[in-house]
């Protein structure tokens, strides 16, 4: 029988990759899309004919109940949220409405309308904030440091509580930074691969960056969404960290990207204090022991391969469309 999946946040980076993955696996895919973002279909244009869009909003419980009743999904993936950390400081209440209470509404809707649906909640490494240990594991204490992390922490524990109280099949995946050609250039990974491609093609001649020593645990969004799907295929629901398990510095990233286009990064990159962050003492890195051992998951793409994929994409895209 054809499996059905409902994805919130379908138009985002992860939602679009997950939608593609589930279509290749033969699922009937439904996407919950806010009316206001319905013009923002760029990431899913190439497969929008194969999916069904349902209108709904995490702020409105009745719209969630309607969507679940209509789709009758076997699996529900909650990838929608207000996810921009700086905005969570200027709009903390709205962040809580979407990222925290939105999950309460969704859990209640599932409990009432489709309690046998399997549920994936997108938790974030931001729940660890200032962690006591590194690498972090599924048992590391949550110490969020911004309203987004606080909201994700609430959502995480509500998902776990609904699993315990109502015996629902609920899972939280704690994802670290994950990148792809569908990322915006405001994020440093895409900023660098895009700039390396532009410089190679003679369309730019410099790149200004902030802290070159900053380190991140980067993995490919395609690898991350595969882990999300895998988590919902198990006998028992559980929570897992989804990460690469290693960190790399911005310096290594820039070096690797410029190597891909055959240029020496030091000829083009300068450091601009405008891109420095004030609070950067913490470096998050996830332990992937649990997901590796229990589900047999690990990233298929190395750091270098991910850089290559993104530089190649940017070279092709810029060559085709111009800068």
Rule CB under 6 A: say whether 194 interacts with ligand GDP: no
37 is catalytic: no
109 is catalytic: no
Min CB(256)–ligand GDP separation in Å:
14
Q: CA separation (Å) from 27 to 4, 21, 24? A: 5, 9, 7
Min CB(176)–ligand GDP separation in Å:
9
Number of residues this chain uses to bind ligand GDP (CB under 6 A): 15
Rule CB under 6 A: say whether 84 interacts with ligand GDP: no
Binds ligand GDP by CB under 6 A, chosen from 277, 278, 320, 321: 277
Of 20, 27, 81, 126, catalytic: 126
Of 77, 98, 148, 240, catalytic: 148
Rule CB under 6 A: say whether 86 interacts with ligand GDP: no
CA distance 5 to 228: 12
Instruction: Write the CB contacts of 312 (distance below 8 Å, at least 6 apart in sequence).
Output: 260
107 vs 254, beta carbon nearer ligand GDP: 254
Binds ligand GDP by CB under 6 A, chosen from 42, 50, 206, 280: 280
The footprint of ligand GDP on residues 154-193 (CB under 6 A) is 177, 186-189, 191
39 is catalytic: no
- Segment interacting with ligand GDP, rule: CB under 6 A, options 145-153, 235-243, 275-283, 288-296: 275-283
150 vs 188, beta carbon nearer ligand GDP: 188
116 vs 186, beta carbon nearer ligand GDP: 186
Q: What is the 3-state secondary structure (H, E, C) of the chain?
A: CCCEEEEECCCCHHHHHHHHHHHHCCCEEEEEECHHHCCCCHHHHHHHHHCEEEECCCCCHHHHHHHHHHHCCCEEEECCCCCCHHHHHHCHHHHHHHHHHHHHHHHHHHHHHCCCCEEEEEEEHHHCCCCCCCCECCCCCCCCCCHHHHHHHHHHHHHHHHHHHHCCCEEEEEECCEECCCCCCCCHHHHHHHHHHHHHCCCCCCEEECCCCCEECCEEHHHHHHHHHHHCCCCCCCCEEECCCCCEEHHHHHHHHHHHCCCCHHHCEEECHHHCCCCCCCCCCECCHHHHHHHCCCCCCCHHHHHHHHHHHHHHHHHHHCC
Min CB(60)–ligand GDP separation in Å:
28
Binds ligand GDP by CB under 6 A, chosen from 64, 168, 250, 310: 250
Min CB(186)–ligand GDP separation in Å:
6
Of 124, 125, 244, 287, catalytic: 124
The footprint of ligand GDP on residues 200-229 (CB under 6 A) is 209-211, 214, 216
Min CB(252)–ligand GDP separation in Å:
12
CA distance 42 to 208: 28
Q: Provide the annotated active-site residues.
A: 124, 126, 148
Residues in the site for ligand GDP, rule: CB under 6 A?
177, 186-189, 191, 209-211, 214, 216, 250, 275, 277, 280
């Amino acid at each position: 029988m054809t499996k059905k999946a409902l994805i919130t946040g379908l138009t985002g980076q992860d939602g679009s990759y997950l939608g593609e993955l589930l279509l290749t696996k033969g699922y009937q895919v439904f996407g919950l899309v806010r009316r206001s973002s319905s013009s923002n279909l760029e990431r899913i244009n190439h497969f929008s004919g194969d999916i069904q869009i349902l209108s709904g909003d995490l702020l409105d419980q009745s719209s969630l109940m309607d969507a679940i009743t209509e789709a009758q999904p076997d699996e529900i993936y909650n990838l929608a949220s207000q996810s921009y950390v700086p905005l969570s400081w200027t709009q903390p209440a709205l962040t809580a409405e979407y990222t925290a209470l939105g999950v309460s509404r969704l859990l209640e809707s599932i409990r009432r309308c489709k309690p046998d649906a399997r549920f994936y909640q997108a938790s974030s490494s931001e729940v660890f904030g200032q962690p006591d240990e590194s690498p972090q594991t599924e048992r590391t204490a949550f110490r969020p440091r911004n309203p987004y992390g606080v909201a994700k922490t609430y959502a995480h524990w509500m998902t776990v509580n609904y699993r315990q109280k109502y015996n629902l099949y609920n899972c939280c995946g704690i994802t670290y930074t994950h990148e792809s050609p569908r990322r915006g250039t405001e994020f440093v990974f895409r900023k660098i691969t895009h700039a390396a491609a532009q410089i190679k093609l003679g369309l730019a001649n410099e790149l200004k960056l902030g802290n070159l020593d900053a380190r991140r645990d980067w993995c490919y969004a395609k690898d991350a969404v595969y882990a999300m799907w895998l988590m919902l295929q198990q006998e028992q629901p559980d929570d897992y960290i989804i990460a690469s398990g290693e960190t790399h510095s911005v310096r290594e990233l820039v070096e690797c990207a410029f190597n891909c286009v055959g240029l020496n990064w030091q000829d083009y990159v300068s450091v601009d204090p405008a891109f420095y962050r004030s609070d950067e003492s913490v470096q998050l890195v996830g332990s992937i022991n649990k997901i590796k051992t229990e589900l047999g998951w690990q990233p298929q793409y190395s750091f270098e391969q991910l850089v290559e994929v993104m530089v190649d994409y940017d070279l092709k895209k810029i060559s085709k469309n111009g800068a």
